[in-house]
Amino acid sequence: MKNIGITILLLFTSLTLSAQNDRQSFAGTLLQSTLIANTCPIGMTAGQRMSGQTVVVLGGQQAAPSGQRIHLSLLDKNPARIVSAIVTAFGLSAKYRFVQADAMRGGPSNVTKSIHAAFRDKPDGTVYVDLVLPGFTAVNAIVLQSIAYADGSTRTLSPHDGCHVAPDPMMLVAGR
């Protein structure tokens, strides 16, 4: 009886370890393919900001939800500074659904919003904008459509340029 219990334990342990190894190799392959496929000439990072779930109260009444907030940073080798861009956000609304947790980044979207965003300078040479996306409960991707530079020139990006970013899933809850 004791041997049967040990055999079953070893069987389930080996299946669990096998599944974890398969999952890790899949994640590594996905990361490598994402890095290779991203040929965007503009460096892009996106991070979540606080207050996406904050309840706003005006005059004793709950105001409309504020949506998601995304901090988007761009870095370009072009000597002219980026002053604005058209970006499109893809994400999810508050509609009930079941989605696998690992499919969220770059996964299915049921809400889209295009924004003409004015950027501000950071000391490190990048430019940034804080996007407010009403109606979004999650943001899966931000796609860069076009850029306007301080010298008056513009740049339109094609889907082949691969200028998109998934927001970092880590959200800092306290500043320094």
14-60 tens-digit pLDDT:
444 444 443 333 333 333 333 444 688 999 999 987 654 556 666 77
Domain residues for the domain of 6 are: 1-37
149 located within any domain: yes
pLDDT value, residue 6: 59
Same domain for 48 and 22 = no
Q: Are 137 and 91 in contact (CB under 8 A)?
A: yes
Domains contained in the chain, number: 2
Structure tokens at 14: 């080996």
Q: Is 174 helix (H, G, I), strand (E, B) or coil?
A: coil
Same domain for 66 and 21 = no
pLDDT value, residue 119: 96
- Give every residue of the chain whose pLDDT is below 70, as ranges: 1-38, 50-58, 62-66, 97-107, 171-176
106 located within any domain: yes
Same domain for 130 and 145 = yes
Same domain for 103 and 17 = no
Same domain for 161 and 128 = yes
Same domain for 75 and 23 = no
Same domain for 106 and 33 = no
30 located within any domain: yes
pTM: 0.66
Same domain for 80 and 53 = yes
172 located within any domain: no
Beta-strand pair 138-149/164-165: antiparallel
pLDDT value, residue 78: 87
Residue type at position 28: G
Same domain for 102 and 17 = no
pLDDT value, residue 18: 42
* DSSP code, position 151: T
Same domain for 130 and 148 = yes
Same domain for 119 and 57 = yes
Residue type at position 122: K
Return left, alpha or beta for 121; rule: phi > 0 is left, psi -120 to 50 is alpha, else beta. Answer: beta
175 located within any domain: no
CATH number at residue 46: 2.60.40
The closest of 48, 74, 45 to 136, measured between CA atoms, is 48
pLDDT value, residue 51: 58
pLDDT value, residue 35: 41
